[in-house]
Amino acid sequence: LEEECRWVEAQNSKGECGLVPEDYIQVSRFFVIRVCAYVGEEDDDGEWDEEWDDSRSTGGDGDTPVDEDGGATGHNLHSHRKRTLSKFPFSKTPNPELYLLAKLPPKGKDRLPIYVTDVGPVWLYPESPLDCVVADPKKGSKLYGLKSYIEYQVTPNTTSRPVNHRYKHFDWLYERLLEKFGSAVPIPSLPDKQVTGRFEEEFIKMRMERLQGWMCRMCRHPVISRSEVFQLFLTYNDEKEWKTGKRKAEKDECVGPLIFSTIDPEAPELDSVEVEQRCELFSKFTKSMDDGVKDLLNVGNIHWKRCTGPLPKEYQKIGKAFQNLSSVFNTSGYQGETTLTDALTAAGKTYEEIAQIVAEQPKKDLHFLMETNQEYKGLLGSFHDTVAGHKAAIDKVKEADKMMLAGKITTQDKVTMGKRTSIMSYSLQAEMNHFHSNRIYDYNRVMQHYLEEQIRFYETIADKLKLALSQFTTL
């Protein structure tokens, strides 16, 4: 027997068959196992409980959250921990190459067209963009007050009718989106879970801000935003509709690499060399951008610490030193002293105010810059998996001739593989173009915001100093 990958036929839960590499036999269990995986996991309100999402008291159990930045500046909230737990008995890494020779289900109505425009392949964008507001976090409780949680109001611009969701609902949505679209569309992680202090005001505000950012990004995605599960999350009418919708989404079979079977690029098939080149280009870009973003986050973190730590302390000391000197001058007994001492005291107080302004400033400008870059760091991280899936498919295609010679696939199979990698490439290009246009918008916006706030900062200080200066006698 040769030491080569063998292809075997596998059957999914619906009894449908497809050719699968033997190496992935464990992964292919997915098709059989995933439905049973939820049996018995639903509790009385139709939801599984996450012990690490709900804690019985506000104070928590004494565990302190890991501060990855190593600082005590409060900016540790900027670190998003990687999610490591999974409910599913299989790796979440998409394996899009499985799709290359799989027997596909018949084409349904939910098709995802790709058009070629002057920027290249793009998804079909809705005429009016979807958006939503996450607001009004409220403490709720269940089990006669034994368990408490925070509920957020989510209001889409389409219905303007708010729906309530807990963090774990967002997490459920994330899992569904990852499962269904993750092979083609990088799904950014949700903001961190946190063990302690979940009910502290600052944490809730920060989480809400990040859930808003995450939802906003999902709303802006043409594939995600029109998906049934996303629409359910935003617009369910009552508990019954929500529960029914949830069960339906969980039973959705068109998940994982099968998403590519729903994509229709209205463009000529690409050859394998071009597919590979484009994939390499994107891979290189996301890697470089990831480095650049991490560098900026690093510098921003150091700057944040200086601006909230030693720098305002120094301005405060300068302010105190001026006021101190003013107090001494006041004891001189010399006539005509007060004009100077009043001005000197005012100047000292001005520097104390400047200390306050400096310390508060990062929350006003650097915060948004950091959040955006943090979001992009996550996004680029999920891009890595998407690109890796494409690379694996390309490697498979490269083996096509050998496999054909060995009689493992037919000529028709090879043609199918080429056609499907072309579809995958169009999907990746549409996704990259979506990413680029969003990136240009986001970085334009965040840089403008940063610079505007910086200008306001320097002008505010200059104005305060002008006022302080005006108190001194003209010589």
Residues in contact with a copy of itself by the rule CB under 8 A: 118-119, 281, 284-285, 288-289, 291-293, 295-296, 299-300, 302-303, 306, 310-311, 314, 317-318, 320-322, 324-325, 327-329, 331-337, 340, 343-344, 347, 433, 436-437, 439-441, 443-445, 447-448, 451-452, 454-455, 458-459, 461-462, 465-466, 468-469, 472-473, 475
- The answer to whether residues 104 and 424 touch, using CB atoms and an 8 Å cutoff, is no
With b for 16 or more beta-carbon neighbours within 10 A and e for fewer, the 179-202 pattern comes to: bbbbbbbbbbbbbbbbbbbbbeee
CA 9, 11, 12, 17: dihedral to nearest 10 degrees?
A: 70
* Alpha helices, DSSP H, located in 331-410: 338-364, 366-398, 400-405
Looking at the Cβ atoms of 84 and 473, the one nearer to a copy of itself is 473
Least Å distance between CB 233 and a copy of itself?
28
Nearer to a copy of itself, 325 or 404 (CB): 325
Q: How far is the CB of 411 from a copy of itself (least distance, A)?
A: 34
**CB neighbour list of residue 222: distance below 8 Å, 6 or more residues apart:** 123, 124, 125, 126, 434
Per the document, the length of the chain is 475
Shortest Å distance, C-beta 428 to a copy of itself? 13
* Minimum distance of a copy of itself from residue 219's CB (angstroms): 17
Q: Which is nearer to a copy of itself, 92 or 287 (CB)?
A: 287
Smallest gap from residue 351 Cβ to a copy of itself (A):
10
When the beta carbons of 118 and 238 are compared against a copy of itself, the nearer one is 118
Nearer to a copy of itself, 198 or 278 (CB): 278
Q: Closer to a copy of itself at the Cβ: 170 or 282? A: 282
**What token pair was written down for 473?**
């006698």
264 near 112, Cβ under 8 Å?
A: yes
| CA 471 vs CA 329, 342, 346: distances in Å | 16, 8, 8
Three-state SS at 148: strand
* Amino acid symbol at 313: K
Shortest distance, CB of residue 368 to a copy of itself, whole angstroms? 14
- The 10 Å CB-count burial string (b at 16+, else e) for 96-110 is bbbbbbbebeeeeee
- Closest CB to a copy of itself among 63 and 118? 118
Rounded to a whole number of angstroms, the minimum distance from the CB of residue 11 to a copy of itself is 42
d(CA 379, CA 182): 12
Write down the least CB distance from residue 3 to a copy of itself, Å. 40
- The amino acid sitting at 400 is A
Minimum distance between the CB of residue 218 and a copy of itself, rounded to whole angstroms? 20
CB of 126 to a copy of itself, least distance (A): 19
φ, ψ at 138 (rounded to 5°):
-130, 145
Q: At 337, which amino acid appears?
A: E
Q: Considering beta carbons, is residue 25 or 447 the nearer one to a copy of itself?
A: 447
Q: What are residue 139's phi and psi, to 5 degrees? A: -80, 125
In whole angstroms, give the CA distance from residue 337 to residue 340: 6
- CA nearest to 170, candidates 195, 147, 148, 187: 187
Instruction: Compare residues 195 and 216 and give the one whose CB is closer to a copy of itself.
Output: 216
Q: In terms of CB distance, is 181 or 351 closer to a copy of itself?
A: 351
